[in-house]
Amino acid sequence: MPLGKAFDELKALYINAPVLAYFDGKKKTTVQAYAGQSGLVAVLLIDGRPVEYASRAMTATEQTYAQSEKQLLSTTFAMERFHYYVYGRDVIVESDHKPLIVIVKSLSSALKRLQRMLLRLQRYNFQLVYRPGSELVLAGTLSRAYPRQTRPMTTLNSQKNSRRTDDEQMQQLRAVSSQRTIDFINAAAADDKEQLKLMHQIAVG
């Protein structure tokens, strides 16, 4: 059987009964998160049966991330993509990147980029467990079939994404900090000459 036809049949099996299951919050909820070379994949499972799949291509910047950053990005993508399923529930997150288990427990000592993603994950109750890549069959297979970006990022789109990221980070900061702390951070940033120069450089080039 040609590989293309076999792959199409495998995809058809993945998205039809009896493979796909209905979500049931009373059963064990598991999320598989996987980061390929240039794509992210997430699978939501109930008692080992898939409920939903999600994937996206990484941006050019994300493709330059270290492997630990890519793996945490995939976990963040998975939890936020399945937010309405996992929020307020105890969830098992499976990853094939063992160092990630230590990283998620060390927010204060993590690198800044990792800290930002860890803050986004603070709202969820999850336990990260290690599983070898050979056992993440669904996520590993789908990591080779994520949707590619169809158009380059324009300056306008980049600015919109930057504003959206700023808003998201402010919402996340409010979730874990008091208004007094936020005011203190804003006041300190306003007096930081190096940061002001950097913001100007980013804005005008």
How is the chain split into domains, by residue range? 10-142, 155-204
pLDDT for 162: 52
Residues in the chain: 205
Q: Which CATH superfamily is domain 10-142 in?
A: Ribonuclease H-like superfamily/Ribonuclease H (3.30.420.10)
Under the banding of pLDDT at 50, 70 and 90, the label for residue 109 is confident
Under the banding of pLDDT at 50, 70 and 90, the label for residue 121 is very high
Q: Nearest CA to 29 among 42, 39, 41? A: 42
Tens digits of per-residue pLDDT, 56-77? 888 888 989 999 999 999 999 9
Identity of the amino acid at 151: R
Cα torsion for 145, 43, 6, 16, to the nearest 10°? -130
Distance CA 183, CA 192 (A): 14
Q: Mean pLDDT in the chain?
A: 80
